[in-house]
RNA sequence: GCCGGGGUGGCGAAACUGGUAAACGCAGGGGACUUAAAAUCCCCUGGCCUUCGGGCCAUCCGGGUUCGAGUCCCGGCCCCGGCACCA
């Protein structure tokens, strides 16, 4: 250990990386015995090269993994590749590189980058989604879901990205645009495979309350996304020509049953089955057809829903089962077939949308809820003729509501649904915004969906023993649309396992979010060829103690992962509901105030940083510059600062390393009577305490770096005036620094440790423990306040009686001036901390 | 509009459960070393006033609770994120 840090960090880092791998230090046991820790970071898509977001994510995870390792936990810290997806296919289309080659080349590059950063992964558990030994289990899970009616085929309107030529799940449409290519998403009606995530809506939303160590933002996003509404379904019978209630009718969903006496019309979605009752050839039928055509055309082009509400009077009438009144039935563009029952009762007096619609078409507005006196809600605004000019949407007191007059809204809702339930008019209902997960993709680079179509037997699942259905390689990729697999005759043509006749394979592939919905289980038992994993091994490693990734996955991957876990539970493969105990969402890495991107030209290249400063500096800066969950503004000079810190560590300890290695360790209370040595020892032990607390309980990674900088500064102060006999104390400081640095700058940590006599990797050393003796002092500087304002300090014993502290304070000249001529009314005394003198 | 998260020096940020606001770092200023520069090392750096002892004002704004509030409560402003014809 000598020479300049600058000249040797590269060789030093590489040699320790080799040593970690040679000694297999990150190889986790097949099954942990004793305390375990599963540290997981979101697996990367192999896009080509690592970006700073990856570096930040993985630096945080590696710091925690190294810390836990030194604390003695069996640590599982795996890495893998989310390697199915469209960029690979686009590379093939644009540059003629086979997707598999593009993908494996990128993986090789990025794996080398991860190694060069020194991240401690158990590479023996590496997985890649595009490999048949992984995706066969996607197929296996799909078949299990098919058996349980959790996977089903349905024709419905789906999101269509015309640029990506594929269907998108709702979760993958952001603000009406494709999450991947940002082009406008339209609607198409297609036959698709769906996973019945809606069966778990209630569980998924209720389970959020049992995730206290998840960020509030993630829970809130998921809650909004699932969108639970409590209300009632009410049956409105159709009014027959003669005025009687007909046998059929419509069901509406409402959260405001208390306003039902104000329903002056009803509106159904343009695809509602009741519209079959509109007489063919009637003017209403023609108008309806016109509405459908217009809306469909606009939607296909990606104009989501129009802002203007439009509708057609169907000429049909339905009967309000509470008031008995007959009201007109309309079809409207703003009612969605996919939510609730596809039909609403319209209460324009108390609902803004209904009011807008009623105003446009001159329909009646009736007030049935008045604001409660003194409630602070605004009463319905009315024009001179007493006609409301806006909807009053707040709860209040019922009027014009027959037997329910005078009741509060909440009471009325409860009573009305109970009354309705008795005679079948209404029933309580909870609706969710969350729709089933459409997983069919008309693309090549994904998991083949393991079903086939037989003319005789219909949809036939591929038998388990025929898995995996291998993704064929002889497929022309043109990007012109349609499922590429349909072009491979040898793939499509097969025989039906039931009748032996000819059959066609499904040519769509699975959404790649399937791949990442269960990969964290596979890590536990990554080479299992008989099953996706051994439940006993998963039981030993789970749950994931800490999962780190971007918050942009909150309503995507993080919901799918929770859904899959529940499916696995129902399959008997796991015994818990939630896979992740603690979730951390790291902030973005910005430069110049915006996210790094090629188009903005503000990219910082990890390789360049490693070349100039090394992995330790790169990691240290990403940890130091901001707390993990906040966005990090890149600062080239800040990076220099972190490099300087490591240089200073080196300069302080390298020249004296062998002397310190030879020095004895200080005894428990050695140096206690010498202020500079005692001061240094106190700093050492306080630093241990602070760093441990921040890493263990708070997961703050920026403050430990600060603490270690402080320790270095104080050690340097002592060393500057070094005296004979200081070696044991400098040794303690240096060795402690080496140990505490391991999670943050592991290579320097190892070199320091070795230089000062360590014979093994720091990873095998126990995490240091603070000695309580050095955490307290007998005499302390007591803070003295007068009326809550700092006026000075007095030196007293740490447990001095109050009277002593007060008399010492009075004796202080400065404090005394603030007490002069005033009465001491009260004293607040916290021994060892603070004295507040309240005077008047 | 609804839901969530935030506003602390020139900048990134500290401040554990209410107890010395601004630790640590960056930038800036001054000094040492040097023929010089770089590097390194040391000191200073929230604002205003000062008789150089210190005093006053400061954590988005306005109130409140408290001996004491960046931290707790009420009201408001601004920024960021999510959802948004969801009945």
Question: Residue A219: which nucleotide is closest by CA–C1'?
Answer: B4
Q: Which A residues 326-365 have CB within 7 Å of strand B?
A: 333-336, 339-342, 344-345, 351, 353
Q: Is the CB of A787 under 7 A from strand B?
A: yes
As a whole number of angstroms, the distance between CA A428 and CA A231 comes to: 6
Spatial distance from the CA of A456 to the C1' of B21 (Å): 79
Question: What average pLDDT does the segment A792-815 reach?
Answer: 91
Spatial distance from the CA of A818 to the C1' of B50 (Å): 18
Question: What average pLDDT does the segment A467-483 reach?
Answer: 89
As a whole number of angstroms, the distance between CA A579 and CA A539 comes to: 11
Q: Residue A671 carries which DSSP code? A: T
Q: Is the CB of A56 under 7 A from strand B?
A: no
Look up the protein residue whose alpha carbon has the minimum distance to the C1' of B66: A788
Question: Residue A232: which nucleotide is closest by CA–C1'?
Answer: B87
pLDDT at A377: 43
Rounded (5°) CA angle A417-A422-A426: 40
Q: Which strand B nucleotides have any atom less than 7 A from protein CB atoms? A: 2-5, 11-15, 19-21, 23-27, 40-42, 53-56, 67-69, 81-87
pLDDT digits (tens, 9 = 90+) for A219-230: 999 999 999 999
As a whole number of angstroms, the distance between CA A312 and CA A291 comes to: 8
A343: β partners: A268
ipTM (interface pTM): 0.95
Question: Residue A834: which nucleotide is closest by CA–C1'?
Answer: B19
If DSSP codes are grouped into helix, strand and coil, which group holds residue A172? helix
Spatial distance from the CA of A651 to the C1' of B29 (Å): 27
Q: Is the CB of A410 under 7 A from strand B?
A: no
What percentage of chain A reaches a pLDDT higher than 70?
96
As a whole number of angstroms, the distance between CA A64 and CA A704 comes to: 12
- Top pLDDT among A562 and A591 is at A562
pLDDT at A376: 41
Are A318 and A326 within 8 A, CB to CB?
yes
If DSSP codes are grouped into helix, strand and coil, which group holds residue A469? coil
pLDDT digits (tens, 9 = 90+) for A9-35: 999 999 999 999 999 999 999 999 999
Q: Which two tokens stand for residue A351?
A: 């609902």
Q: Which of A26, A60, A13, A16 is nearest to A621 (CA)?
A: A60
Which residues touch A665 (CB under 8 Å, ≥6 apart)? Answer: A728, A731, A732
- Top pLDDT among A373 and A683 is at A683
Q: Band of the pLDDT at A301, cuts 50, 70, 90?
A: low
Spatial distance from the CA of A266 to the C1' of B4 (Å): 34
Q: Band of the pLDDT at A478, cuts 50, 70, 90?
A: confident
As a whole number of angstroms, the distance between CA A373 and CA A371 comes to: 6
E strands, A674-716, are none
Mean pLDDT computed over every residue of chain A: 92
Residue A492 Cα to chain centre, angstroms: 38
pLDDT at A373: 56
Q: Is the CB of A4 under 7 A from strand B?
A: no
A796: β partners: A780
Rounded (5°) CA angle A738-A743-A746: 60
Tokens 């909807």 locate to: A391
Q: Band of the pLDDT at A160, cuts 50, 70, 90?
A: confident
Does the pLDDT of residue A592 top 50, yes or no?
A: yes
Q: Is the CB of A783 under 7 A from strand B?
A: yes
Cα A702 to Cα A28, A59, A160, A737, A747: the distances in Å are 28, 12, 44, 16, 18
pLDDT at A243: 63
pLDDT at A251: 95
Spatial distance from the CA of A300 to the C1' of B11 (Å): 49
Least confident of A175-179, A425-429, A435-439: A175-179
Does the pLDDT of residue A587 top 50, yes or no?
A: yes
Does the pLDDT of residue A300 top 70, yes or no?
A: no
Cα A205 to Cα A145, A210, A221: the distances in Å are 21, 10, 11
Q: Is the CB of A818 under 7 A from strand B?
A: yes
As a whole number of angstroms, the distance between CA A459 and CA A665 comes to: 75
Does the pLDDT of residue A717 top 70, yes or no?
A: yes
Question: Residue A343: which nucleotide is closest by CA–C1'?
Answer: B87
pLDDT at A71: 96
Tokens 């126990």 locate to: A766
Q: Band of the pLDDT at A389, cuts 50, 70, 90?
A: confident
Q: Is the CB of A696 under 7 A from strand B?
A: no
If DSSP codes are grouped into helix, strand and coil, which group holds residue A17? helix
Question: Residue A268: which nucleotide is closest by CA–C1'?
Answer: B87
pLDDT at A374: 47
Q: Which two tokens stand for residue A339?
A: 């939510």
pLDDT at A245: 61
Q: Which A residues 247-276 have CB within 7 Å of strand B?
A: 253-256, 269
Cα A681 to Cα A154, A653, A722, A774: the distances in Å are 71, 17, 15, 7
Question: Residue A306: which nucleotide is closest by CA–C1'?
Answer: B85
As a whole number of angstroms, the distance between CA A196 and CA A226 comes to: 13
Which residues touch A367 (CB under 8 Å, ≥6 apart)? Answer: A262, A349, A350, A380, A388, A392, A399, A400
Q: Is the CB of A833 under 7 A from strand B?
A: yes
pLDDT at A813: 86
The per-type count for chain A, helices as H runs and strands as E runs, is 23, 34
Q: Is the CB of A706 under 7 A from strand B?
A: yes
Spatial distance from the CA of A637 to the C1' of B77 (Å): 35
Question: Residue A720: which nucleotide is closest by CA–C1'?
Answer: B41
Question: What average pLDDT does the segment A138-148 reach?
Answer: 98
Q: Is the CB of A324 under 7 A from strand B?
A: no
pLDDT at A189: 81
Q: Is the CB of A68 under 7 A from strand B?
A: no
What percentage of chain A reaches a pLDDT higher than 90?
75
Question: Residue A252: which nucleotide is closest by CA–C1'?
Answer: B87
Q: Which A residues 433-452 have CB within 7 Å of strand B?
A: 433
Q: Which two tokens stand for residue A682?
A: 């106190």
pLDDT at A242: 67
């Amino acid at each position: 250990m000598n020479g300049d840090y600058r000249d040797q960090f590269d060789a030093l880092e590489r040699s320790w990386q080799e040593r970690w791998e040679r000694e297999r230090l990150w190889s986790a046991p097949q099954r942990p015995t004793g305390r375990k820790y599963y540290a997981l970071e979101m697996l990367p898509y192999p896009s080509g090269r690592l970006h700073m977001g990856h570096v930040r994510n993985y630096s945080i995870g590696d710091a925690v993994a190294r810390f836990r390792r030194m604390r003695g936990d069996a640590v599982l810290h795996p890495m893998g590749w989310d390697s199915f997806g469209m960029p690979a296919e686009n590379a093939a289309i644009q540059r003629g590189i086979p997707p598999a080659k593009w993908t494996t080349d990128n993986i090789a590059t990025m794996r080398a980058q991860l190694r060069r950063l020194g991240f401690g992964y158990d590479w023996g558990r590496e997985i890649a989604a595009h490999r048949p030994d992984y995706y066969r289990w996607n197929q296996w899970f799909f078949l299990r879901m098919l058996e349980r009616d959790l996977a089903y085929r349905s024709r419905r309107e789906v999101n269509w990205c015309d640029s990506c030529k594929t269907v998108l799940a709702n979760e993958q449409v952001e603000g009406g645009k494709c999450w991947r290519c940002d082009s406008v998403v339209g609607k198409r009606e297609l036959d698709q495979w769906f996973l019945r995530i809606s069966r778990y809506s209630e569980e998924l939303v209720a389970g959020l309350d049992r995730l206290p160590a998840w960020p509030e933002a993630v829970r809130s996003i998921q809650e909004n996304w699932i969108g639970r509404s409590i209300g009632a379904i009410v049956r409105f019978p159709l009014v027959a020509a003669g005025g009687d209630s007909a046998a059929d009718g419509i069901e509406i969903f409402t959260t405001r049953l208390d306003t039902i006496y104000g329903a002056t019309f009803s509106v159904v979605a343009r695809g509602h089955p009741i519209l079959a009752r509109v007489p063919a050839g009637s003017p209403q039928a023609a108008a309806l057809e016109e509405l459908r055509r217009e809306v469909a055309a606009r939607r296909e082009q990606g104009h989501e829903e129009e802002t203007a509400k439009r509708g057609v009077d169907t000429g049909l009438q339905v009967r309000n089962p509470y008031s008995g009144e007959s009201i007109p039935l309309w079809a409207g563009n703003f009612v969605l077939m996919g939510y609730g029952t596809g039909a609403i009762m319209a209460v324009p007096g108390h609902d803004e949308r209904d009011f807008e619609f009623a105003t446009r078409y001159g329909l009646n507005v009736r007030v049935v809820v008045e604001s409660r006196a003194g409630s602070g809600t605004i009463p319905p605004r009315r024009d001179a003729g007493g006609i409301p000019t806006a909807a009053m949407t707040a709860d209040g007191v019922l009027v014009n509501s027959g037997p329910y007059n005078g009741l509060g809204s909440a009471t009325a809702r409860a009573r009305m649904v109970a009354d309705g339930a008795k005679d079948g008019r209404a029933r309580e209902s909870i609706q969710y915004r969350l729709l089933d997960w459409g997983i069919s993709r008309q693309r090549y680079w994904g998991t083949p969906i393991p079903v086939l179509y037989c003319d005789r037997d219909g949809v036939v699942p591929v038998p388990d023993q025929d898995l995996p259905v291998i993704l064929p390689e002889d497929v022309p990729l043109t990007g012109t649309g349609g499922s590429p697999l349909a072009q491979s005759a040898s793939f499509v043509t097969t025989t039906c396992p039931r009748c032996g006749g000819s059959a066609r394979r499904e040519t769509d592939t699975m959404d790649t979010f399937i791949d990442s919905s269960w990969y964290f289980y596979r890590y536990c038992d990554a080479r299992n060829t008989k099953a996706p994993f051994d439940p006993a091994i998963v039981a030993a490693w789970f749950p994931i103690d800490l999962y780190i990734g971007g918050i942009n996955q909150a309503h995507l991957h993080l919901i799918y992962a929770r859904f899959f876990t529940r499916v696995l539970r129902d399959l008997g493969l796991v015994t818990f509901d939630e896979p992740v105990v603690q979730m951390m969402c790291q902030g973005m890495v910005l430069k110049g105030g915006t996210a790094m991107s090629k188009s903005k030209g503000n990219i910082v290249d990890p390789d360049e940083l490693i070349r100039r400063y090394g992995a330790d500096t790169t990691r240290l800066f990403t940890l130091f510059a901001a707390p993990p969950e906040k966005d990090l503004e890149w600062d080239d000079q800040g990076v220099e600062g972190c490099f300087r810190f490591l240089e200073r560590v080196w300069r302080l300890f390298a020249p004296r390393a062998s002397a310190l290695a030879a020095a004895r360790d200080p005894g428990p209370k050695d140096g206690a009577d010498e202020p500079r040595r005692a001061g240094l020892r106190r700093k050492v032990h306080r630093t241990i305490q602070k760093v441990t607390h921040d890493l263990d309980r708070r997961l703050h990674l920026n403050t430990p770096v600060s603490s270690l900088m402080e320790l270095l500064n104080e050690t340097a102060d002592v060393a500057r005036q070094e005296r004979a006999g200081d070696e044991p104390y400098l040794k303690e400081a240096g060795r402690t620094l080496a140990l505490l640095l391991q999670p943050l700058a592991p290579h320097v940590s190892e070199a320091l440790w070795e230089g000062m006599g360590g014979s093994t990797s720091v990873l095998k050393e126990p995490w240091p423990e603070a000695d309580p003796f050095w955490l307290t002092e007998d005499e302390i500087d007591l803070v003295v306040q007068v009326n809550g304002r700092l006026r000075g300090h007095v030196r007293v014993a740490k447990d001095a009686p109050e009277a002593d502290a007060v008399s010492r304070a009075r004796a202080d000249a400065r404090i005394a001036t603030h007490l002069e001529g005033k009465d001491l009314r009260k004293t607040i005394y916290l021994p060892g901390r603070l004295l507040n003198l309240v005077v008047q």
